[in-house]
Amino acid sequence: MEERSELTRTRVTAAWLFLAPMLIILVLTAGWPLLRTIWFGFTDANLADLSTFKFVGFDNYLTREDGKWVGLLADPEWWRAVWNTLRFAAISVTLETVLGMIVALVLNASFPGRAIVRAAVLIPWAVPTIVSAKMWSWMLNDQFGIINDALMRLGLVSHPLAWTANPDLAMLSVIMVDVWKTTPFMALLLLAALQMLPSDCYEAAKVDGIHPVKVFFKVTLPLIRPAVMVAVIFRALDALRIFDLIYVLTSNSKDTMSMSVYARQQLVDFQEVGYGSAASTLLFITVGICIIVYMAVGRVRFDKE
């Protein structure tokens, strides 16, 4: 017994020793920069010289100047970015879940050529985001794009549409590209869940002659609900921090600007590190709130073993 606990103790020591390099790197590249960002949010730091700045309290967030409210929370552009981000996340994740479920159900059926479909579905996932943004902006090009050409040949539109420049269409374009790019991820996660289901209840349903659509809603969906919830939250967190697709597809257009694009513009383009960091901090808080609300509503647990 004595020897056993001695052994356990050396194992625990070894464990911390093995964890140390990873923890040091993680603190250096994630913990510390995050704390600095939050701190910068309360200062008037400028990118040109990050060594001298002064504490300004909540001035970056909200303050009264010359009888007017100024700061992030009084900036209509910020609120527009918040609205754009939430709208984008809600619509694209919903579409990706529905389409991903359809693709997963197809891949879960056994039919000749299934391997080809699975390989084809993986392609959008493998294409780098920047490349998919460029590929689509070429296809959506207002003068020479194939999508306008196809729509005009089919007689669906009478004149070419400015997909990425038109304020009413820009967000639609972003959502379209994001759905194309990330539906495979959703489909693969849902497929993995479908393949873990026991086959006996399906056989029972088949014997009883129950319609497949009814089986899906009454049997399949409740069984894979936990997996769907996890897949949705992973995708939603990704969607809330979206940067590269919007930056490349519609650059700094106000119609599609997300919270990440807004924060980086303040931080790098306008050199306002204090103000930009405040925006980053608000994005961080928004993501945190979304996780907590979602986990409370969906009763998702991550820590079960």
Partner 1 sequence: MKRYLGLGAFYLLVAVIIFYSVFPFYYAIISSLKPPSQLFRVDYFPVYWVWDNYIAVFREQPFATNIFNSVLVSVSVVALSLFLGVTAAYALGRVQFRGRGTLLLAILAISMFPAVAVLSGMFELIRLFGLYNNLLSLTLSYMTFTIPFTVWVLTTFMRGLPKELEEAAVMDGATPWIIITRVFMPLLWPALVTTGLLAFIQAWNEFLFALTFTLTNTQRTVPVAIALITGASQHELPWGNIMAASVIVTVPVVVLVLIFQRRIVSGLTAGAVKG
83-142 residues in contact with partner 1 (CB under 8 A) are 102-103, 106, 109, 111, 113, 116-136, 138-139, 141
Q: Are 101 and 119 in contact (CB under 8 A)?
A: no
For 8, 186, 208, 224, 277, the CA distances from 217, given in Å and listed in that order, are 49, 19, 16, 11, 45
* Sign, Cα dihedral of 53, 57, 63, 64: negative
Q: How far is the CB of 86 from partner 1 (least distance, A)?
A: 14
Sign, CA dihedral 23-26-28-31, equals: negative
Q: Which of residues 7-66 bind partner 1 (CB under 8 A)?
A: 7, 11-12, 14-16, 18-19, 21-23, 25-26, 28-37, 40, 45, 47, 50
3-state DSSP assignment of residue 258 = coil
Residue 179 and residue 102 in contact, taking contact as beta carbons nearer than 8 Å: no
Cβ 157 to partner 1, closest distance in Å? 14
CB of 108 to partner 1, least distance (A): 12
- Choice between 125 and 202, CB closer to partner 1: 125
User: Considering CB under 8 A, how many residues would be counted as binding partner 1?
Assistant: 99
Instruction: For partner 1, give the closer residue by CB, 91 or 165.
Output: 165
Residues 183-222 that bind partner 1 (CB under 8 A): 184-185, 188-189, 191-193
Min dist CB 67 to partner 1, Å, is 31
80 part of the interface to partner 1, by CB under 8 A: no
Q: Which of 79, 90, 94, 146 is the binder for partner 1 (CB under 8 A)?
A: 146
**289 sits near partner 1 (criterion: CB under 8 A):** no
Q: CB-based burial of residue 169 (10 Å sphere; 0-12 exposed, 13-18 middle, 19+ buried)?
A: middle
The residue (of 210 and 237) whose beta carbon lies closer to partner 1 is 237
Nearer to partner 1, 67 or 112 (CB): 112
CA distances from 68 to 13, 62, 92, 181, 275 (A): 59, 10, 37, 43, 18
Could you tell me the sign of the dihedral formed by the alpha carbons of 207, 208, 214, 220, in that order?
negative
Footprint of partner 1 on 245-284 (CB under 8 A): 247-248, 259-260, 263-264, 267-268, 273, 276-277, 280-281, 283-284
Residue (66 or 119) nearer to partner 1, CB: 119
Calculate the alpha carbon distances from 84 to 79, 115, 195, 248 in Å. 8, 38, 36, 16
Gap between the Cα atoms of 222 and 220, Å rounded: 6
